[in-house]
Structure 1
Amino acid sequence: MQLHDPARRGFASDNYSGVHAEVLAAIAAANDGHQSSYGNDAYTARLQQVVQGHFGDRAEAFPMFNGTGANVTALQSVLPRWGAVVCAKTAHINVDEGGAPEKVGGLKLYAVPTPDGKLTPELLDVEAFGFDDEHRAQPLAVSITQSTELGTLYSPDEIAALAAHAHELGMTVHLDGARLSNAAAALGVPFAAFTTDAGVDLLTLGGTKNGALGAEAIVALDPDKAAGLRFLRKTNMQLASKMRFLSAQLIALYEGDLWLRNAGHANAMAARLRSSLEGVPGVEFTQPTQANGVFVRLPAGVADAVREQFFFYDWDGAAREVRWMCSFDTAEEDVDAFAALIRQASGG
């Protein structure tokens, strides 16, 4: 029984999209017969090989249910109880995870304001101080997001410079990769170019926003720095008993080029949306459109008028700034119809 209108489209989030048909087929294929539980199955073993093909022979994958659980568990695994994390003020761990890193993970977050969602070595130093001061939570990790919450991208060189500086300070580098595929597709480089090769220590590998039913993974690029992951995953209630179904989804995405096809299409739709509205009176883009997100300031009343047909979120309501996200299943006709409504409502 279908309870929604499948013709209803929106630009609120890439979480609004469905599951890619190839991922559904992979789940169905994994469903026959019996397999060992808690990761002792053929699919999770195969996932390790797939992940190592992208990130290097030392990489180790830990499938998880969701991104928040993956981020919290990853950061816990590399920090002592007195540890703190430096992140951008707009970071998902700071803004959109309900305080889980601090409440569940017991981690202090030092959030640094940035103009574009990106940290630099100089911005890291804003909070990376007070080492050995017993009155200050110790900034022992830095967490960055690729692509960022503002839709911007770090270049491989930018991540390498930040990671090198963090390591000089004795800090571990975590990367929130909920939209890692969108970043790689936009940059046109392999994952390793801006992760393993750039000095990242561990990352969250996204699946749900790029066509999975609900599957993420922590990837320890240096397993020696995250030795507790095997135990923390269970402690944090992220150990799947039927893990083969998480692993099968990630294999479907990352063994071939499905991740690239999906992310590349979402990026292309965001670029199409932006180009369709450039020059429209009163429509002001507030960030570069580098992946699958478009950030824009609209004339008064336009957002609410258009939202009646295509839902999306306010990013900064006081500034009339909104966020539009494109997905693997966003169609050209969706973009064109949406852009036409924006132009009409804006008088352009």
Structure 2
Amino acid sequence: MNLPQAGALTVPQDRILVVDDEPLVRNLLSEYLCNEGYDCDLAATGRDALIKLANGSFSLVIADIRMPELNGLQLLEGIAQRFPDVATIIVTAIADIDTAIYTMKQGAYDYIIKPFNLEQVAESVKRALQLRRTRLESKRISQNLEALVRKKAFALSTALHDLKDQHKTTLEVLIKALDARGHETQCHSQRVQAYTLRLAQQFEFDTLQLMDLARGALLHDIGKIGVPDGILLKPGKLNSDEWSHIRKHPTIGNEILQGVKFLDRVAWMVLCHHEKWDGTGYPQGLKGDQIPLEARIFAVLDAYDAITSTRPYREAMSSDVARTAIIANAGTQFDEKVVDEFLKVPQRDWDEISAKFPG
């Protein structure tokens, strides 16, 4: 083998393990690569090589295939499994294409046939180490990006959680403000919300729509904050002037909720929850499908709860009376399709909700 004059230094921090059961080959490769500026160590068998790899840090392994105890192919497999960041080059007398392909599949950078040219080996070592550095840098960047993504995802999750808490607090404040006015029926809003979510199961609402539906049901009467106590809590029937004040509560509720960004869609539902299917409702006189489906659902359940709850001017009536009244007003006050779905729900479901929110 021709031993040319050593060239310039390359990367002194790269450490190479030369593995060959022939001392002459090991020493020749080691001497030449050391002259090229690499730090080299030697192993006579694949087993010795794995021990050295476990106890030290290497950038590259140059290995023969035919060796005692643990051959080069087995060593290559062990390196791929246990030391994936270590580059490998096979230097062997086995000129077999299938073996060469197998070593490449196991991660070997090159397959050099003996007798070899040392300059060829040095060039292969240089390219293998450059590729290794590129892969390590890509891995480092990828890990940094993954860490950054995890950090950003955690920050986003925390922000969303905080936002949900803020939304929940906003809703609680609004409901407490209504309750503080002495709202006419305890737990009315909670019952209507629970009724609404049960009836919503009969329809095809997505998750975001259900969230808005639940908020709208809970806040449908929020506008009554703007109605005078003398009217809101009057034990007798209301006169026409007093009714005009009551009829303002959907508009007042809409104005309150429009000031809360995440309740924009809910504000529209609240504005429309006293509209009637035949167009005789208030405040806008909307008709049929002009009324949001959510508001049409509220209307049926608001009426059901009003009939079955005690009011300042009368005692609660039975669910049978409520169902009869709703059926009688299907197609005029209520959307017939919503009424049909309401009637499909077992009465025990409504009764369970009523028992959960008494008052």
Q: What is the TM-score of this pair, normalised by structure 1?
A: 0.23
Which gives a bigger RCO, structure 1 or 2 (Cα 8 Å, sep 6+)? 1
Higher alpha-carbon Rg = 2
Q: What is the TM-score of this pair, normalised by structure 2?
A: 0.22
Flag the structure with higher strand content. 1
Flag the structure with higher helix content. 2
